[in-house]
């Protein structure tokens, strides 16, 4: 009996053993295949990065080598610098460096890209490169050579010692901070050198991109948690402020805020608000309740949002666009000053479409950017500005608006709205030069 049983079970067991071995082999092969593909991608990105940083150094040298009156070549060279730097940034993003402090180098490349782009897009025949910009380019030329030499040294080691990027991932993920790895140490060295470079004059438009929001717009007396609790209670119409929990955020930093939270006893949801510490201005509000089927149209929702803003200290706001989402509508408003729309001072209001309640407010841009501006007078009238429009545009409206252009500068424009090619567009024409500053498609408020 046992012989017959073993005669049956032995082939089955052998088959299972062979099957499991084959399955294990297949799993091993698939794992190796994935690792090889990842390694190849990392190697390609690293060698491309080394190549593009070397190209960046060369292109900066070419741009500096031509005559100071060669505006056309300056534009071409700066555009190439912008393109090459973007390629280098993309390759950095493909490397396993998320756990490695390489931020200084990434920011340095980002500033080079923005500096070259913003310089290239201006009219260099009217505004040629300044002495400061030449000096900046010369410093970038020398710095890029230093970075290129360091990366080439790392590249040589990679090729000579057959270094693997998968080992970098292991080294970065290791809990031992002293884990040694040639590539990791190399990138740390590059980033340390970049951090020691002297601060450059990138010009106002680039510098503004990396500045924190101005504290001058957050002036006001520092509020206590109790004062914020009272403000939150007043906003919500609650008689007993003690039910509101207040917590300070960012203590010890420049931008300190308070978070106020109240739990709804009838459900698990929490109503949340954020206030600036200086001045106690609300910058965020969320009432995440379930919204039933829509019973309110866009016009009624806009009226409810406008009334809400007036009641809570946001006067002279104009609805400019909207977006539907989950039985609610999010309306974007911009401030008005002397009948000019001030786009930097914008905020959004979320309205529930079942009954028109306000269930959300995002007012950070308005709070941080709001101040009285000395608005210039337009050099052109709207008739002259209209000449820049496509003749096929079916014009529906026009007004003056203050926007931020590609240089990050506040610019007075004529805002023309109309329809063309089946879509609604806003076209911003510079009120001084008559040139297009910005074009954007939007969903009309209907």
pLDDT given for residue 70 in this prediction = 83
Predicted confidence (pLDDT) at residue 239 exceeds the cutoff of 60:
yes
Of 2-11, 151-160, 163-172, 421-430, highest mean pLDDT: 421-430
d(CA 112, CA 260): 41
**Comparison of pLDDT for 408 and 314, the residue scoring more:** 314
Arithmetic mean of pLDDT, 366-379: 88
Helices (runs of H) and strands (runs of E) counted in the chain = 11, 12
Instruction: Report the alpha-carbon distance of residue 304 to residue 123 in Å, rounded.
Output: 45
pLDDT of 215-236, one tens digit each?
444 567 888 989 999 999 988 8
In 140-299, DSSP assigns E strands to: 245-249, 257-263, 270-276, 282-286
Nearest C-alpha neighbor of 414 from the set 431, 397, 432, 433? 431
pLDDT at 174: 57
More confident residue, 177 or 385: 385
Predicted confidence (pLDDT) at residue 378 exceeds the cutoff of 60: yes
Lowest-confidence segment of 45-54, 180-189, 371-380 by average pLDDT: 180-189
In terms of DSSP bridges, do strands 270-276 and 257-263 run parallel, antiparallel, or are they unpaired? antiparallel
For 3-48, write each residue's pLDDT tens digit.
555 555 556 555 656 555 555 555 555 566 666 777 788 888 888 9
DSSP secondary structure letters along 338-361 = TTEEEEEEEEEEEEETTT--EEEE
Residues 190, 191, 193, CA angle at the centre, nearest 5°? Answer: 65
For 167-174, which contacts have Cβ atoms below 8 Å and span 24 or more sequence positions?
168/42, 168/96, 169/96, 172/96, 172/97, 172/98, 172/99, 172/100, 173/99
Among 137, 37, 132, which Cα is nearest to 78's? Answer: 137
Report yes or no on whether pTM surpasses 0.75. Answer: no
| Half-sphere CA count of 81, side-chain side, radius 13 A | 31
Q: Residue 300 has what pLDDT?
A: 92
Q: Indicate the average pLDDT of the chain.
A: 81
Identify the bridge partners of residue 442 per DSSP, sorted by sequence position.
424
What's residue 334's pLDDT? Answer: 94
């Amino acid at each position: 009996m046992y012989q017959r049983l073993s005669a049956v079970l032995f082939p089955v067991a052998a088959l299972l053993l062979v099957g499991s071995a084959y399955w294990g082999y297949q799993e091993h092969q698939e794992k190796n295949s994935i690792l090889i593909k990842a390694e190849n991608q990392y190697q390609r990105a690293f060698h491309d990065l080394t190549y593009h940083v070397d190209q960046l150094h060369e292109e900066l040298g070419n741009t500096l080598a031509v005559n100071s009156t060669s505006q056309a070549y300056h534009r071409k060279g700066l555009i190439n610098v912008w393109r090459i730097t973007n390629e280098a940034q993309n390759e950095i993003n493909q490397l396993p460096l998320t756990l490695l402090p390489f931020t200084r180098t990434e920011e340095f490349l980002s500033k080079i890209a923005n500096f070259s782009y913003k310089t290239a897009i201006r009219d260099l025949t009217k505004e040629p490169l300044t002495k400061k910009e030449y000096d900046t380019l010369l410093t970038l030329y020398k710095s890029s050579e230093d970075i290129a030499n360091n990366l080439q040294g790392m590249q040589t080691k990679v090729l000579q010692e057959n270094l693997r990027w998968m080992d970098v991932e292991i080294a970065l993920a290791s809990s031992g901070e002293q884990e040694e790895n040639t590539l990791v140490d190399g990138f740390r060295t590059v980033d340390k050198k970049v951090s020691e470079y002297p601060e450059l004059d990138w010009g106002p438009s680039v510098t503004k991109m990396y500045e924190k929001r101005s504290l001058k717009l957050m002036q006001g007396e520092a509020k206590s948690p109790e004062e914020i609790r009272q403000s939150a209670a007043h906003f919500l119409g609650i008689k007993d402020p003690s039910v509101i929990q207040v917590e300070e955020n960012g203590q010890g930093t420049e931008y300190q805020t308070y978070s106020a939270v109240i739990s709804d006893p009838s459900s698990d949801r929490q109503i949340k608000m954020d206030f600036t510490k200086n001045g106690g201005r609300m910058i965020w509000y969320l009432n995440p309740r379930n919204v039933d089927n829509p019973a309110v149209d866009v016009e009624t929702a806009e009226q409810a949002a406008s009334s809400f803003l007036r009641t809570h200290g946001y006067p002279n706001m104009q609805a400019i666009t909207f977006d539907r989402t989950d039985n609610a509508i999010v309306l974007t408003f911009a401030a008005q000053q002397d009948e000019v729309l001030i786009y930097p001072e914008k905020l959004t209001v979320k309205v529930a479409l079942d009954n028109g309640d306000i269930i959300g407010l995002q007012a950070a841009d308005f709070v941080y950017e709001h101040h009285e501006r000395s608005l210039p007078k337009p050099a052109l009238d709207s008739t002259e500005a209209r000449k820049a429009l496509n003749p096929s545009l079916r014009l529906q409206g026009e007004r003056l608006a203050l926007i931020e252009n590609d240089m990050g500068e506040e610019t007075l424009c004529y805002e023309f709205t109309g329809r063309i090619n089946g879509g609604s567009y806003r076209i911003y024409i510079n009120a001084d030069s008559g040139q297009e500053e910005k074009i954007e498609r939007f969903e009309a408020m209907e």
